[in-house]
Amino acid sequence: GDSVTQMEGPVTLSEEAFLTINCTYTATGYPSLFWYVQYPGEGLQLLLKATKADDKGSNKGFEATYRKETTSFHLEKGSVQVSDSAVYFCALSLSGGGADGLTFGKGTHLIIQP
Amino acid sequence: DVKVTQSSRYLVKRTGEKVFLECVQDMDHENMFWYRQDPGLGLRLIYFSYDVKMKEKGDIPEGYSVSREKKERFSLILESASTNQTSMYLCASSSATLEGTDTQYFGPGTRLTVL
């Protein structure tokens, strides 16, 4: 079946460090790919998405590129801040998206130290 | 602004009780979802609905049922709560338009403890 694999962490970085959170997927079709973020005590928020190969999603300094050849959607940020501390979920969706639900990775807990 | 609300942030129930978790969205979305979130397991889909009175099983429907009598409201029901249903429950909604179905909007979650 469809699945998403991401590094689980926790990942601990110093402020202003470069961030990469790896995400790879397995899917029978051509999925849309997402990164969601969950801040402490809150629900999930969409961070960015890409709907086809070579698309780049970006938001709040975060970027991820849909790589079909490596079935990957790695999340990057050039300079992280303490406020970026959260849990990050990679997810995929088939059949045009949300009507069938999202398949999530297990989440990566990111801790940024001042 | 997009909004999904859940009736309770924290809930404590006893084994065997019938539990209702309510979710309301104000975006006129057709699709609504219930997930549970557990450490080390991520989010798993319990049930979803793509229209009023319609429901579809997700990956882990056992022990749960749902109700959607109105477009904006989607209820998750635990018929007889058990301790293994202690979890964080997240509701989400999305539009049925071709461009909109991808993006799901989540509520703040209900942390349910079953004693």
The CA distance from B1 to the nearest CA of chain A, in Å, is 13
Q: Contact A46/B105, CB-based, under 8 Å?
A: yes
Residues B45/B37, Cβ–Cβ less than 8 Å: no
Q: Please compute the mean of the pLDDT values over residues B15-43 and round it to a whole number.
A: 93
Please state, in angstroms and rounded to a whole number, the distance separating the CA atoms of residues B97 and A18. Answer: 37
| Cα→Cα distances A106→A6, B35, B77, B113, Å | 7, 13, 25, 21
Residue B102 pLDDT class (50, 70, 90 cuts): low
Q: What is the pLDDT of residue A7?
A: 87
CB–CB contact A106 B42 (8 Å): yes
pLDDT at A41: 82
Q: How far is the C-alpha of A48 from the C-alpha of A27, rounded, in Å?
A: 19
B77, pLDDT greater than 90? yes
pLDDT surpasses 80 at B101: no
Average per-residue pLDDT in chain B? Answer: 92
Strand pairing report for B56-57 and B42-49 = antiparallel
Which residue, among B103, B110, B111, would best test binding to A if mutated, counting the most A CBs under 10 Å from its CB?
B103
* A93 with B102: Cβ contact below 8 A: yes
Share above pLDDT 70 across residues of chain B, in percent, rounded to a whole number: 93
* Cβ–Cβ under 8 Å, residues B46 and B58: yes
DSSP of chain B, one letter per residue? Answer: ---EEES-SEEEE-TT--EEEEEEESS--SEEEEEEEETTTEEEEEEEESSTT--EE-S--TTEEEEEEETTEEEEEESS--GGG-EEEEEEEE--STTTTT--EE---EEEEE-
The per-residue pLDDT for range A57-113, each reduced to its tens digit, is 999 999 999 999 999 999 999 999 999 999 999 999 875 545 667 889 999 999 999
Any idea what DSSP says for residue A67? B
- Region B29-47: mean pLDDT is 91
Mind listing the pLDDT tens digit for each residue in A20-42? 999 999 998 888 899 999 998 88
Which residue has better confidence, B39 or B80? B80
- Banded model confidence at residue A1, pLDDT cuts 50, 70, 90: confident
* Confidence category of residue B63, pLDDT binned at 50, 70, 90: very high
Contact A114, B58 (CB under 8 A): no
Give me the residue from A43, A45, A98 closest to B102, CB to CB: A98
* Separation between Cα atoms, residue A50 and residue A48, nearest integer Å: 7
pLDDT at A96 (0 to 100):
53
Mean pLDDT throughout B22-49? Answer: 92
